Structure 1
């Protein structure tokens, strides 16, 4: 029996070599088959033969049996990368088939659409190598390494689609969502005092803005703010700002809001504040990563693996690697309103341009079928000189709607209705040669004045002449309003402007030289003055020195203004610059020297401005310091008026101190600007005394620290826009396991995202496992089980039997390899270091 037991242990050891590469559908399925079957002769080593003993007779040798087929899940290899798990039928030496649905899921969009549909229809069927080859899927099996390698014939390859503007690749980083309850407030203490005038000139204000979020990303948001007058005259003690509660429905791109709202109307129709409710769809607010503007699309086929580069106005905007087969480039980005797009392909045969075209776009244009709107109802805000939010009893209903008719034309309309005032109109936007054209019309009727009027607007943005390939742009607009037209406002005053026209054209002749020119025309109703103005200038870059000169002429009724504004900017080393300017029309001269602001905390910059003019001289000194907790700005201004004007000298000190507090799921922290959303990085008590540095955004800027002052609190960059957060531990225990170390903050509109670094289970153990006979436990997989909590983590051994046991806290553990066929128990003491070296340990082989 002893010998038999030893042989059985060796059989189990032979089975262990399959562990880390696959997942069994049953315990020891590959080696032992199903219950009740006799042991597979392939699973046992041949009996040893004594020296000089002749081999057994052929007649007495056992007849060969067919190898047993087992179903296993494993990750196939495609183009050097592991794919999701497939279910395969295997023997020890052959691949018999792959289940169709799991194969379709693993290959995904790499497959042609028709082939994907066929595999889905064959769900549950195991397709042989021959059947797969007929479909264009080549499968190769390596029994030595238990790997399946897949490749595709040309007819099986699906279209490789790339949508540039709407993608965000989370990669391997852990994704963290907002806390269930979060609160953030940013406050500014703003003070000013004229040292030459005494306390009478002193002012001290505290203004704040903040939010509360109930229910996380899918919950309710509340934004608020206000100003407290701590010292000074002419203001009330407290004035509140807008108070708005809203909820977002991301999938349907809808926001429902209530409170102090601004009526959303086109510029030509006017604007007003109300207290009421609104329903709106704004993609830039709720789905900023989705491109809703018409963009370029190109489809083609590549014959071999290639690199594709997309250039806009000569600048590389996208580069990607593709396999042979169809390629679909969707939503090709434009750098500006009008861009020259080139698509370059590089493969084994060389580099060549396959397409070039002009792509025009604008924020006012919507892709075909896309719509945006805003509807509101409420009471009009009273016009008050001192501010405040007091409301009349005048009800108002308003709305606007815009829809992309196709990828060229966007049309919409608006309305604002009150009992004694109405405003309706329409808007139109369309692609035009080299750019886009915009038109709007609005009509108003005011019953109190019995006046009816209209307003018309026409604009163009683009580069129709294409005088340069370096992103030049022409802007033109003309607005006309009749005398009876009244735009929506708190007072409904008659329109004073009759014609307002402007044009400017900037042409980048080279990368170092640009010219610009334009003019304006303004005419008023009644006896108002007519204004005409024109300008022309040039900008040149001489190395790092920038120089510009602009000549202008303006006529205001009977008065004229003409002169030249010259400016020179000179860098002073890597972090300083100076700018000097002179305006011959006003006789004003200005010199500024400044340190460039840092992009990582702590931030420090300062500057000096000297101004000299015909009416006064002024000298200004500025300094700023900021870290992740606060921001302090100090400014000193010395003004000396011309003695002939009879004024007095002034010496004014201004300062602004900004800081705020944040709370996420009951944890508080201090930050510079948490009032519009924040990310809080907290550390476990086991990291007391250590410092956690936090970096965010793609450039890797250090934004905050978790230290003795509490968790790191950094501002949310943008609503609904993921941000990369990277964590570094300084001064912690050697070998401390902080977990992922890189996270993707996935915020809502106004959110508090909390990340906690460290845990009780921060230790790792290094160990080499051997069998009772001293042979290493090779390539075995299993789990590490906490005997007190039942929590588990994965573990595997390499070819020498070495393993790393991670996420260990104080307590007792059991290592279970190969489904519990081999076990090893150990304990972690409270005083154990972060890295525990356990040496060589013998596993227990279970019967």
Structure 2
């Protein structure tokens, strides 16, 4: 407005003007405060509308639904007479593509955006937008992946001794005893392992016994689980590919170790890529079996398949949107573990001295060091490249290979290697193909050398095979049984070539009967032929019988056996067998064995013609950890020592299977945990005394490889009782009244039905004060702790405060 002429106003007018200015300023401050509050990051007041100083409109914060997906936060718009506009920054945050927004002039009403449909509800402060996915940049929803796929393993300090002992005694008075021991010491840093082969032999006619002790392996292993790397010092085996040989060395190995995160898939995962027009439910079926069920928002989705089959399979994705419309998509896939996922690298590096006369001498190593390296890398999900190189004592060998996925038609492999040693050169190549397609499986492989091909293992052992060929085909027809054909050819240095072909058939019949036929023919010697017929009978309760007739090189052999397998730990197993080889010999054997919580034992007698041998064996482990010493069956992987805080006879379970009860010190060894994987260890508190408190009954245990973990279930004895409270007139103290024990606000509780109150941390003499049920009142009572009981005390009269000094006490009445 324009200004009027200046003049002097009366005092009353001036006072009214000052008041008006003050009111206007106050209104402006309130409006500004509301605007700042509405524009705060929390946007908690959501729908408050504010004047927009730039466009003359009102700033509003709306709950936006885009193609059925509700945004997680409120979005800022400008409302100009019912027309909404949005800044490009906020539009990009909603999910619109920048290329689409660049074609829309600024301040264009949302209703005028191309290919956009909106529904604005000002009263509900909500906005619904429908847009084609081509103008949106929505994140792809990934399904079928394990959300928390990484585990964190640990180990407690401890020592373990594995042992295998075996002894024989013959009717010629020849006897022998052998043993294998492995000592492991471990903590969270790593595992030290030392193993020995022990032998003692008595030969008739010779004085005394022959003794020998040979060290087999001594190794320290340290794993970096977060990096997926394992380091080994000492005796180890070099890594190898399908076309290379392993070498036993003493030295250092650093390698990528995928077993440190077993829930991470290394092979390419078959995946379905699609788009959900509206929020939908998704089901995935693989070969007709449901593998996944879940919900997805509108937008692009990727459904990863964790295959339950190896080879070719058929997947089906069924999507049902919010309107009930159903879409079904079928697609084939091929699953194999021979390839690495795209971008994944597996590698190994070793250096050290080659072990010689393994199992015969303890410290026989080569004088010259060797170096070896292996690498595999997933170029794509269909191509994996691999390479290997090794050198020692003037010998060098290296090569490259590949694994290829041929769609749903199987996998192919190829490799080529070269070697140089002492002026001689040679090469080796290999080609292979495999296919598993439903009931059909087939494959063929050939590996051949040219010239003087050598590797490091040649310097201390045999040279590589000159030629190795194999092929097979198998078909499971269902009703007609399973058929198989195979071929094997081998050319070894210093031995004549060998070529064999075979055919087999088997069929499962009713009542647990299986029949099988087989034949093998030496293609270089027509008289070298084997034909066999076998029958297997499976009965109830682990009882089975087997009989076979074999004709090999003109000799007929008949065999019958009867076997009883243990159904539970602690049961006995046994086997009876008899064999008749015609004019050659007849033999018979009897064996019994038992698997217990503390060891595995077996005993047996065999007789072959006039020779008879009696034998026996025992294997198991001794563990010192967690304050106890335990005997167990042989432990090759992870384990745990469970403590129940000195409470004996508590049942302990591994994956809901009963392992045993804690001993008199409240300890039990759980011997069969999987390293680096989730293991559910639990206790059963059903039979615990009533005065025991348990903080938890389940623990997820992830041990390191070859190590143990101390697992403690906190169980403590409490001094507690149920108190029955009555008013002076005999009625129950009202429900919900607050009671305080011995003046401590943290103790006590609320009165329940029938005037009953549960309290803990009791003393010999106790006082309760009750408030919230009319006038404050109180009661005194005595408590006597009795193990295994939860006393019920009362009824106590809640008398007005203060309590008289001579107020009597009530003794506890103990009940179970």
Match of 2:556 in 1: 587
In the TM superposition, what whole-angstrom CA distance separates every residue of 1:283-308 from its partner, at most 9, and x where no partner exists? 1x211111121012224566899775
Residue in structure 1 matched with residue 613 of structure 2 by the alignment = 652
2:478 pairs with 1:510: yes
2:650 is paired with a residue whose SS is: strand
Give the structure 2 partner of residue 456 of structure 1.
429
Indicate whether 1:831 and 2:786 are aligned.
yes
Native 8 Å contact 1:696 1:702 kept in 2: yes
Q: CA deviation at 1:281?
A: 0.4
- Aligned position for 1:183: 159
**1:478 CA drift (Å):** 0.9
The Cα offsets for residues 382-408 of structure 1, whole Å up to 9 and x where unpaired, read as 346724342232111111111111111
Residue 254 to residue 571, structure 1, CA distance change in 2 (3 Å): same
Question: CA offsets per residue over residues 514-554 of structure 1, 9 Å max, x none?
Answer: 2222222223457x433232222222222343434334342
Per the alignment, do residues 133 and 827 of structure 1 end up closer, same or farther by CA in structure 2, a change over 3 Å counting? farther
Contact 2:606 2:614 in 1 (8 A): yes
Q: Aligned match of 2:501 in 534, 549, 569?
A: 534
* 1:69 equivalent in structure 2: none
Partner of 2:633: 672
- What's the counterpart of residue 349 of structure 2? 375
Give the corresponding residue for 1:213. 186
Secondary structure at the aligned position of 2:196 is classed as strand
1:292 aligns with 2:266: yes
Q: Which residue of 1 aligns with 2:622?
A: 661
Is residue 390 of structure 2 the alignment partner of residue 416 of structure 1? yes
Identify if the C-alpha distance between structure 1 residues 811 and 671 changes in structure 2 by more than 3 Å, giving closer, same or farther: farther
SS at 1:560 equivalent: coil
Distance in 2 between the 1:802 and 1:303 partners? 58
Q: Secondary structure at the match of 1:242?
A: strand
Match of 2:706 in 1: 750
Look up the match of 2:599: 630
Cα gap change, 1:294 to 1:500, in 2 (>3 Å): same
* Residue 191 of structure 1: how far off its partner (Å): 1.2
The answer to whether the 8 A contact 1:204-1:230 is kept is yes
CA contact (8 A) 2:534 2:548 kept: yes
1:430 corresponds in structure 2 to 404
- Name the residue aligned to 1:484: 452
Q: Once the two structures are superposed, what CA deviation does each residue of 1:96-115 show, in whole Å capped at 9, x if it has no partner?
A: 9xxxxxxxxxxxxxx97974
Work out the CA distance in 2 between the residues paired with 1:213 and 1:494: 37
Superposition deviation, residue 416 in structure 1: 0.8
Report the counterpart of residue 651 of structure 2 in structure 1: 693
For 2:681, the equivalent position in structure 1 comes to 725
Q: Are 1:405 and 2:394 counterparts?
A: no
Show the counterpart of 1:618. 587
Determine the C-alpha separation between the residues in 1 that align with 2:334 and 2:600.
41
Task: Specify the alignment match of 2:491 in structure 1.
Answer: 523
SS state at 1:243 partner: strand
* Cα distance per residue 1:340-369 (max 9 Å; x no partner): 223346799999772222222322211011
Between the aligned partners of 2:681 and 2:675, the Cα distance in structure 1 is 15
Q: Which has the higher contact order (CA 8 A, sep 6+)?
A: 1
Which residue in 1 is equivalent to 2:144? 163
2:224 aligned residue (215, 226, 249) = 249
Question: What is the SS of the residue equivalent to 1:366?
Answer: coil
Correspondence for 1:759: 715
Where do 1:343-362 residues align within 5 Å?
Answer: 343-344=317-318, 354-362=328-336
Paired residues for 1:246-285 under 5 Å? 246-283=221-258, 285=259
- Measure the CA separation in 2 of the matches of 1:817 and 1:532: 95
Say if 1:571 and 1:633 are closer, same or farther in 2 by CA, change over 3 A: same
Larger Rg: 2
Deviation of the 1:182 alpha carbon: 2.1
**What do residues 253-304 of structure 1 show as CA deviations (whole Å, max 9, x unaligned)?**
1112211121112242222122211211021x21111112101222456689
> Equivalents in 1 of 2:747, 2:473: separation in Å?
64
Structure 1 residues 134 and 240: CA distance shift in structure 2, 3 A:
farther
Unaligned runs of 5+ in 1: 1-86, 97-110, 123-128, 137-154, 171-175, 641-648
| Distance change in 2, residues 1:588/1:323 (3 Å) | same
Deviation of 1:380 (Å): 2.1
Q: 1:748 deviation in Å?
A: 1.4
Contact 1:481 1:495 (C-alpha < 8 Å) held by counterparts? no
Change in CA separation of 1:496 and 1:220 when aligned onto 2, cut-off 3 Å? closer
Secondary structure of residue in 2 paired with 1:489 = helix
Say whether residues 1:222 and 2:192 are aligned partners: yes
In the comparison of the two structures, how many residue pairs are matched?
677
1:576 and 1:322, CA in 2 relative to 1: closer, same or farther beyond 3 A?
A: farther
Given that residues 469 and 488 in structure 2 are in contact (C-alpha distance below 8 angstroms), is that contact kept between their aligned partners in structure 1? yes
Q: TM-score, normalised by structure 1?
A: 0.69
The Cα offsets for residues 102-129 of structure 1, whole Å up to 9 and x where unpaired, read as xxxxxxxxx979747989x99xxxxxx9
Distance 1:135 1:827 in 2: 68
Q: Is the 8 A contact 1:309 1:319 kept in 2?
A: yes
Counterpart of 1:555 (choices 513, 522, 538) is: 522
Decide whether aligned partners of structure 1 residues 524 and 184 sit closer, same or farther in structure 2, where only a CA change above 3 A counts. closer
* Change in 2 beyond 3 A, CA 1:235/1:549: same
Aligned in 2, Cα 1:479/1:112: closer, same or farther, shift over 3 Å?
farther
Matched residue, 2:535: 568
- Aligned-pair distance for 1:164? 4.5
- Output the CA distance in 1 between the equivalents of 2:239 and 2:326: 49
Q: Give 3-state SS (helix, strand or coil) of 2:198's partner.
A: strand
Question: TM-score normalised to the size of structure 2?
Answer: 0.72
Superposition pairs for residues 437-452 of structure 1, below 5 Å? 437-447=412-422, 450-452=423-425
- Are positions 1:339 and 2:309 aligned together? no
Query: Whole-Å Cα distance in 2 between the matches of residues 571 and 178 of structure 1?
Result: 43
Question: Which consecutive unaligned segments of at least 5 residues does structure 2 have?
Answer: 1-41, 49-67, 77-88, 91-120, 129-135, 204-208, 803-816
Q: How far apart are the structure 2 equivalents of 1:572 and 1:156? A: 62
After superposition, the Cα gap between the structure-2 partners of 1:531 and 1:167, relative to the gap in structure 1 and judged at 3 Å, is: farther
Q: Counterpart in 1 of 2:660?
A: 704
- Give, in angstroms, the shift of residue 231 of structure 1: 5.0
- Cross-structure match for 2:573: 605
Question: Deviation digits for residues 706-725 of structure 1, max 9, x if unmatched?
Answer: 23597321224322011122
Residue in 2 aligned with 1:388?
362
**By how many angstroms is 1:409 displaced?**
0.7
CA contact 2:238–2:350 (8 Å) conserved in 1: yes
Provide the rounded CA distance (Å) in 2 between the counterparts of 1:786 and 1:188. 64
In structure 2, how many angstroms separate the alpha carbons of the residues matched to 1:814 and 1:333? 65
Q: Residues 777 and 514 (structure 1 numbering): CA distance in 2 closer, same or farther, change over 3 Å? A: same
Structure 1 residue 243, shift from structure 2 partner = 1.3
Q: How does 1:301-320 map to 2 (within 5 A)?
A: 308-316=282-290, 318-320=291-293
CA distance in 2, matches of 1:838, 1:306: 58
Partner SS, residue 659 of structure 1: strand
Tell me the C-alpha RMSD between the 2 structures.
4.7
Task: Find the aligned partners of 2:492 and 2:663 in 1 and give their Cα distance.
Answer: 61
Displacement of 1:480 after TM fit? 0.7
Q: Contact 2:532/2:550 (CA < 8 Å) preserved in 1?
A: yes
Cα deviation, 1:693-737, whole Å, max 9, x if unaligned, reads 33223xx33333323597321224322011122323576435644
